[in-house]
């Protein structure tokens, strides 16, 4: 774009940004407007420069100097929201704007370009002969479309029939045998006709995602301010692994967040709890672990940190299992895997909980993979009929860049029913 009068190219772009900021689409999205203005200013003043997540996090959203984009996805989330809002704007109220502002995926640099306009073809007179030719072509096209439609219906019918036959008979190539370790460990949850419930943690937060969330503090926060719509990455991946295992066993799972869980649910269903009692608060109201317990330390240099307390330490075992301090990148975590007696003796209750969300993910992976389950079952000495007794176990997890890469069973207790 060139210069028009005294209005420069930069002025035109910034005017379009202000129009976006004041639009109905972005109304009320203060953090997105702030991000948009910042990105526009950088694009105009420093064309061609690549912005980094750290720069945006500290200069736009006020994150501290120790901000780590590998641990905090704020910038990526906000950029994705802004990208979607821009698309919504130009698909609706900004459809006639001469300039389009975009935030291409994989970058934090705004792009400005002129909107494409469809050229309207000039009207002209059409002769009767030409109209006759068009009518003939239209009839031929209609015949071709009808024929293709019939073929499409027939093809779909064949596909559905083949798929139904494959589903009913089972394809030897697609149907893989379920590993015996998976069958033995998960037998209590698939033996009954009821669908097992997976209860995932969703901590009580206050604040807003775009400006910052923190844990609910009953001493100064109102319960009406609680936002319980969030859970950890580890909980999400844990549910994915559990769903995969139950599909192997030709069963489904029902997923419910912890804040909606009731004691009636505990009486009537087989339950799998995903997340520690620090966030999955319903674990405090039902039978839980007794040998290994999550507890915040009250003394010492790690005072206030969440630990797995070893109630009856055996020779060579630690009294407390502690993850990497919160002030350092997570390199080690601990998690509990426990099959404990339920409130209803006819039901089963499994707990998969890490000191952090990564530990929770690792606990779920451990009970969803045949190799690790085989090691656990050998330690448990499962009976000849495949019945498994209640137990509590602790995992030590090695973490690299937010990913659990190695899990080791460091403590195990068999418990009575």
pLDDT for the residue 257: 83
Domain boundary among 114, 138, 157: 114
> Could you list the residue range(s) of the whole structural domain that residue 27 is in?
9-114
Comparing 20-24, 335-339, 408-412, which segment has the lowest mean pLDDT?
A: 20-24
Domain boundary among 67, 92, 114: 114
Q: Is residue 17 part of a domain?
A: yes
Q: Is residue 96 part of a domain?
A: yes
The 10s digit of each residue's pLDDT in 51-84 is 899 999 999 988 888 888 887 888 888 888 899 8
pLDDT for the residue 384: 59
Q: Is residue 216 part of a domain?
A: yes
Q: Which two three-digit tokens encode residue 242? A: 């559990």
Please state, in angstroms and rounded to a whole number, the distance separating the CA atoms of residues 21 and 15.
10
Q: Model pTM greater than 0.85? A: no
Domain boundary among 91, 114, 137: 114
Q: Is residue 357 part of a domain?
A: yes
State the pLDDT confidence band at 170, using cuts at 50, 70 and 90.
Answer: very low
Q: Is residue 108 part of a domain?
A: yes
Beta strands in 66-121 (DSSP E): 99-102, 111-114
pLDDT for the residue 385: 64
Mark out the alpha helices in 288-356 (DSSP H runs): none
Same structural domain, 207 and 354:
yes
State the pLDDT confidence band at 149, using cuts at 50, 70 and 90.
Answer: low
pLDDT for the residue 105: 87
pLDDT for the residue 256: 87
pLDDT for the residue 2: 37
Please state, in angstroms and rounded to a whole number, the distance separating the CA atoms of residues 16 and 18.
5
pLDDT for the residue 287: 60
Pairing of strands 306-310, 320-322: antiparallel
For residue 410, give the nearest of 317, 285, 307, 342 by alpha carbon.
317
Same structural domain, 95 and 212:
no
The 10s digit of each residue's pLDDT in 18-51 is 999 988 888 878 888 999 999 998 988 888 888 8
Q: Is residue 54 part of a domain?
A: yes
Number of domains in the chain: 2
Please state, in angstroms and rounded to a whole number, the distance separating the CA atoms of residues 194 and 197.
9
Please state, in angstroms and rounded to a whole number, the distance separating the CA atoms of residues 381 and 379.
6
* More confident site: 238 or 388: 238
The secondary structure of the chain in percent helix, strand, coil, rounded to multiples of 5, reads 40, 20, 40
The 10s digit of each residue's pLDDT in 181-240 is 999 999 999 988 888 999 988 777 778 777 777 777 778 888 777 777 778 889 999 999
Task: Tell me the mean pLDDT in the region 291-315.
Answer: 91
Same structural domain, 212 and 99:
no
pLDDT for the residue 155: 52
Q: Is residue 162 part of a domain?
A: no
């Amino acid at each position: 774009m060139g210069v028009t009068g005294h209005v420069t190219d930069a002025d035109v772009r910034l005017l379009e940004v202000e129009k976006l900021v004041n639009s109905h689409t972005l109304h009320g999205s203060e953090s997105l407007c702030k991000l948009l203005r910042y990105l526009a200013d950088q694009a105009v003043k420093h064309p061609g420069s690549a912005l980094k997540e750290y720069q945006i996090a500290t200069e736009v959203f006020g994150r501290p100097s120790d901000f780590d984009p590998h641990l905090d996805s704020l910038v990526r989330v906000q950029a994705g929201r802004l990208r979607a809002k821009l698309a919504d704007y130009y698909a609706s109220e900004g459809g006639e704007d001469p300039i389009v502002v975009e935030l291409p995926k994989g970058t934090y640099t705004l792009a400005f370009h002129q909107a494409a306009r469809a050229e309207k073809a000039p009207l002209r007179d059409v002769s009767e002969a030409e109209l006759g030719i068009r009518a003939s072509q239209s009839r031929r096209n209609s015949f071709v479309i009808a024929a293709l439609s019939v073929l499409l219906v027939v093809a779909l019918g064949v596909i559905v029939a083949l798929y139904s036959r494959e589903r009913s008979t089972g394809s030897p190539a697609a149907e893989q045998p379920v590993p015996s370790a998976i069958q033995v460990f998960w037998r209590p949850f698939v033996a009954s006709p009821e669908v097992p419930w997976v209860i995932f943690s969703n901590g009580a937060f206050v604040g807003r995602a775009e400006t910052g969330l923190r844990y609910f503090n009953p001493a100064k926060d109102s319960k009406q301010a609680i936002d319980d719509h969030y859970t950890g990455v580890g909980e999400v991946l844990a549910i994915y692994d559990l769903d995969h295992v139950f599909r192997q066993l030709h069963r489904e799972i029902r997923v419910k967040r912890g804040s909606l869980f009731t004691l009636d649910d505990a009486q009537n269903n087989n339950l799998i709890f995903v997340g520690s009692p620090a966030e999955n608060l319903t674990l405090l109201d039902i039978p839980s672990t007794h040998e290994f317990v999550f507890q915040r330390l009250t003394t010492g240099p790690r005072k206030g940190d969440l630990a797995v307390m070893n109630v009856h330490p055996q020779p060579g075992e630690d009294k407390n299992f502690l993850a990497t301090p919160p002030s350092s990148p997570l390199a080690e975590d601990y998690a509990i895997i426990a099959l404990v007696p339920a409130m209803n003796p006819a039901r089963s209750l499994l707990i998969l909980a890490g000191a952090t969300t990564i530990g929770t993910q690792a606990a779920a992976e451990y009970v969803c993979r045949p190799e690790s389950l085989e090691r656990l079952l050998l330690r448990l000495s499962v009976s000849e009929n495949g019945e498994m007794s209640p137990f509590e176990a602790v995992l030590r997890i090695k973490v690299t860049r937010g990913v659990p890469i190695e899990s080791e069973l460091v403590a195990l207790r068999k418990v009575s029913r």
